[in-house]
Amino acid sequence: MDLLLSPPILFFFLGVLATMVKSDLEVPKPVARLLSLYLLMAIGLYGGYKLSASGLTGEALAVMGIAILASALMPLGTYAVLRLRLSNDDAAAIAAAFGSISAVTFITAVAFLQEADIPYSGYLVASMALMESPAIISGVLLARLAVSGSAKGEERSGIAGLDWRELGRESMLNGAVIVLVGSMVIGYATGEKGWAAVEPLMYDPFKGVLCLFLLDMGLIAAKRLGDLRRAGVFLISFGIVGAVVQGLIGVGVGWLLGLSHGDTLLLAILFGSASYIAVPAALRLALPAANPSLYIPLALAITFPFNIIVGIPMYHAIIRAISATPPT
């Protein structure tokens, strides 16, 4: 299978392997931060540049609107399911992570499309940026509503004691969100000329940097796997089944809107991926009682590998199949 033979994915496996065999290989934290900063800037600038070329079409606005809604509403369903087994805060946190998106999964899908010479639209990057935060707010609201009016006089719990400004800040001003949105705006504002200036750094070495970053992701994901021992079958299977269900909703939406093959695939990945960077950072503040050793490993060590190894080619095949029969 071609994607599995692409360098970035193979470097992810290499990282997993290195952790498995207890190698001392490590990517220093500041390097990991630089790599993700680069990837966010690169995808943001490119998306903004493409958007400035295509302009904000009706299709673009429609998809972006649906993306926001999906991020805000999907957590309601997942939360209900997760509450069957998990504490209120943990269920809300995981629902938020899965409602939001994983930029690296999206970027890996973009690299897949580039390999396969399948075009995609810049507004998908915009949709990614727009999907990061709503799920966080929904998750926090769900957690608060559940305890509202409860006896606990704890000021932070309950919808009453909710500091909206603070919640907005924590959900929308996370570093990753700022860089992605900011780069997109800059790419949009500077258009052709701006892109020409940054392209040698922000486009050409892109896949190579992705190799370095996925190597580190492999190292980290494998390390985090251990945390899931306590998690149990229910949670781990949710990490896959839940992701696929959401991903298929994305496929369906793309099909109904008659989006292109590439755009539908990216939409599926946005719906079906779970955040392990922006959302956890926000939830430490907004939902401190939720256990990060549950929602981070689930998104990082289960859903992320599943998506880049199985999910992307799977949605690719499904979309090709159904694209034979357009909606009437």
Partner 1 sequence: MRDVKRIEIVIDKPHEPAVLDVLRDLGLPGVTVMDVATGYGDRGARDGGELSDAMSNRYLLTTCTADQLPALTEAIEPLLHKYGGLCLISDAQLIRNA
Q: Which residue, among 240, 234, 224, 211, has the nearest Cα to 311 in the 3D structure? A: 240
- Find tokens 């207890």 and name the residue: 22
**Nearer of residues 187 and 242 to a second copy, judged by Cβ:** 187
Amino acid residing at 218: G
Amino acid residing at 79: Y
| Site for partner 1 contains 308 (CB under 8 A) | no
Site for partner 1 in 171-210 (CB under 8 A): 176
Distance CA 286, CA 279 (A): 10
- SS3 state of residue 289: coil
- Shortest Å distance, C-beta 45 to a second copy: 7
Q: Token digits for 158? A: 């309950």
Q: Which residue, among 184, 171, 168, 166, has the nearest Cα to 129 in the 3D structure? A: 184
Selection from a second copy, partner 1, Na ion, none that 84 binds (CB < 5 to 8 A by kind) is none
Mark the segment that binds a second copy (CB under 8 A) among 28-36, 54-62, 68-76, 94-102. Answer: 28-36
- The 95-134 contact track toward a second copy, x by CB under 8 A, reads ----------------x---x-------------------
Mark the segment that binds Na ion (CB under 5 A) among 99-107, 120-128, 141-149, 191-199. Answer: 99-107
One of 2, 20, 23, 33 touching partner 1 (CB under 8 A): 33
The answer to whether the Cα torsion of 106, 206, 174, 33 is positive or negative is positive
**Nearer of residues 27 and 314 to partner 1, judged by Cβ:** 27
- The 247-286 contact track toward Na ion, x by CB under 5 A, reads --------------------------x-------------
H/E/C letters for each residue in 182-244?
Answer: HHHHHHHHHHHHHHHHHHHHHCCCHHHHHHHHHHHHHHHHHHHHHHHHHHHHHHHHHHHHHHH
- End-to-end distance of the chain based on CA atoms, in angstroms? 33
| Site for partner 1 contains 293 (CB under 8 A) | yes
- List Cα–Cα distances, 193 to 52, 57, 187, 264, in angstroms: 11, 22, 10, 29
Helices (H), the chain: 7-20, 29-54, 58-83, 88-99, 103-115, 123-131, 134-147, 164-172, 175-202, 206-225, 232-256, 261-272, 278-286, 292-297, 304-306, 312-322
Mark the segment that binds partner 1 (CB under 8 A) among 12-20, 32-40, 83-91, 260-268. Answer: 32-40
Distance CA 236, CA 223 (A): 16
One of 1, 22, 84, 160 touching a second copy (CB under 8 A): 22
Mark the segment that binds a second copy (CB under 8 A) among 207-215, 239-247, 256-264, 297-305. Answer: 207-215
**Nearer of residues 179 and 244 to a second copy, judged by Cβ:** 179
The residues of the shown chain that bind a second copy, judged by CB under 8 A, are: 5-7, 10-11, 14, 17-18, 21-31, 33-34, 37-38, 41, 45, 111, 115, 169, 173-175, 178-179, 182-183, 186-187, 189-190, 193-194, 197-202, 204-205, 207-209, 211-212, 215, 281
The residues of the shown chain that bind partner 1, judged by CB under 8 A, are: 24, 27, 29, 32-33, 36, 176, 216, 220, 223, 227, 276-278, 280-281, 283-285, 288, 291-293, 296, 300
